[in-house]
Structure 1
Amino acid sequence: MSERDGRGAVSPRANGAVERPRRGDVPAKRASRLPAPGQGFGVTFAQIFRKVTTEEYPEVPKVTKPRYHGRHVLNRHPDGLEKCVGCELCAWACPADAIYVEGGDNTAEERYSPGERYGRIYQINYLRCIFCGLCIEACPTRSLTMSNDFELADDNRQDLIYTKEQLMAPLLPGMEAPPHPMRLGDDERDYYVRTPDTAQPTDALGVAGRAAARPVEQA
């Protein structure tokens, strides 16, 4: 059963249920001496004298936080090869089923990534994506990252399904568009094993900003 305090308020029962007030109960007294309408309008009047924050978007671009979850980017190695190895772990980790990946096999004549496979087809449906970042955590090669680009609105549903060509990071100076042989070493470990002296900063899209033929650190 519930208990009542000295003001006539009803306390919850032991099982969590609340008993309704009965006839003859004394209502609890309000702490303020102002009438109820005055208390309600007081909240409205208090907001009048506060400074109003006005966003001049889109004339003034919105500046997002550095770790903002925006449009995805498929990164490249310093020689231009793709970091994606077509493992499909990002698609398995996506709770909204927004990512579709089909892997392909690399050959000596046609190589797109340093591994045995590469992402032949890569699509992200931004009508489903909730920008949770779980796909980023699942990627074993740090191929998939998220940029600060948030302007994804469109009037055509088909245009919101981004393909691999739209998601691939641009070629920086010194990079060569795949397919081409591995330039950073003959072993896949030369791409993914890193040492402290090979760490280099990355640009805004998370792409390695150098073209030296040395292993690059994966953040």
Structure 2
Amino acid sequence: MSKRPHLVDALAGFGVTFATMFKKPVTEQYPEKPGATAKRYHGRHQLNRYDDGLEKCIGCELCAWACPADAIFVEGADNTEAERFSPGERYGRVYQINYLRCIGCGLCIEACPTRALTMTNDYEMADDNRSDLIYGKDKLLAPLQPEMTAPPHAMAPGSTDEDYYRGNVRSDGLVTPLGMPTVKPREAVL
């Protein structure tokens, strides 16, 4: 049995090592200059809002059921006309994500029927206190934009919850989407 193939493999390995010895080392200046993440990176979660400021979360708890790590707790409540936080009947009164358990799999995102829950590129979530790693709605809700009104408030005049789900409501009220045919009354057939 010849030892020649083993010698060739060893020389190839040493060749890789030798070539690497003369490359310039890559040093990242992390705290001062955080690196960019990939567009589809799964970082911190965010609860989204509609354009008028109402929350997209309807308190259905599907995200909590889909979570394999049991990291999400949702407690739904009923909307009233006096206090409306989301379109439709319900909203997420309590929403918590335990980042000590979260594995970043994104199954909660896929389970959400209203696209209320998405993941951002934010990856700086380290803390020295375990209780601070349980994020509530105060940390998870998307910030209000200048044209938004803080909930609770009524839905846009003349709109239904389906108008919200289809994206027909903007910050200034109900809008008919472009390209949608208008429904005309049927004419009498002669």
The reply to whether TM is greater than 0.5 is yes
Residue in 1 aligned with 2:62? 89
CA distance in 2, matches of 1:59, 1:138: 37
Whole-angstrom distance in 2 between the partners of 1:87 and 1:63: 34
RMSD, matched Cα: 2.4
One-letter amino acid matched to 2:105: C
CA distance in structure 1 between the aligned counterparts of 2:44 and 2:160, rounded to whole angstroms:
32
Structure 1, unpaired ranges of 5+: 1-26, 199-209
The yes-or-no answer on 1:80 pairing with 2:53 is yes
More helix by share: 2
Paired with 1:131 and 1:110, the residues of 2 have a C-alpha distance of 33
Please list, as runs of the form range in 1=range in 2, the aligned pairs for 1:1-219 lying within 5 A after superposition: 27=1, 29-31=3-5, 33=7, 41-183=14-156, 185-194=158-167, 211-214=171-174
Higher relative contact order (CA 8 A, sep 6+): 2
In structure 2, the partner of 1:206 is none
CA distance in 2, matches of 1:30, 1:58: 49
Q: What is the SS of the residue equivalent to 1:31? A: helix
Q: Provide the TM-score with structure 1 as the length reference.
A: 0.73
User: Residues 58 and 91 of structure 2 are in contact (CA less than 8 Å); yes or no, is this contact kept in structure 1?
Assistant: yes
Q: Residues 186 and 35 from structure 1, CA distance in 2 versus in 1: closer, same or farther, beyond 3 angstroms? A: closer
Could you tell me how far 1:185 is from its partner in structure 2? 3.8
TM-score of the superposition, structure 2-length normalised? 0.84
Counterpart code for 1:142: R
Q: Residues 104 and 35 of structure 1: is their aligned pair in 2 closer, same or farther, counting only changes over 3 Å?
A: closer
Distance in 1 (CA, whole Å) between partners of 2:9 and 2:36 is 44
Note the C-alpha offset of 1:211.
Answer: 2.3
Q: Against the structure 1 CA distance between its residues 185 and 172, is the aligned structure 2 distance closer, same or farther, given a 3 Å change threshold?
A: farther
Q: CA deviation at 1:150?
A: 0.3
Secondary structure of 2:5's counterpart equals coil
Q: Partner amino acid for 2:166?
A: V
CA 1:185–1:99 in 2, change beyond 3 Å: closer, same or farther?
A: farther
2:181 is matched with none
Instruction: Report the CA distance between 1:173 and its aligned residue.
Output: 1.2
How far residue 32 of structure 1 moved from its aligned partner, in angstroms, is 5.5
5+ long unaligned stretches in structure 2? 178-190
Shift of 1:33: 4.5
Report the identity percentage: 66
Please tell me whether the aligned partners of residues 79 and 184 of structure 1 are also in contact (alpha carbons under 8 angstroms).
Answer: no
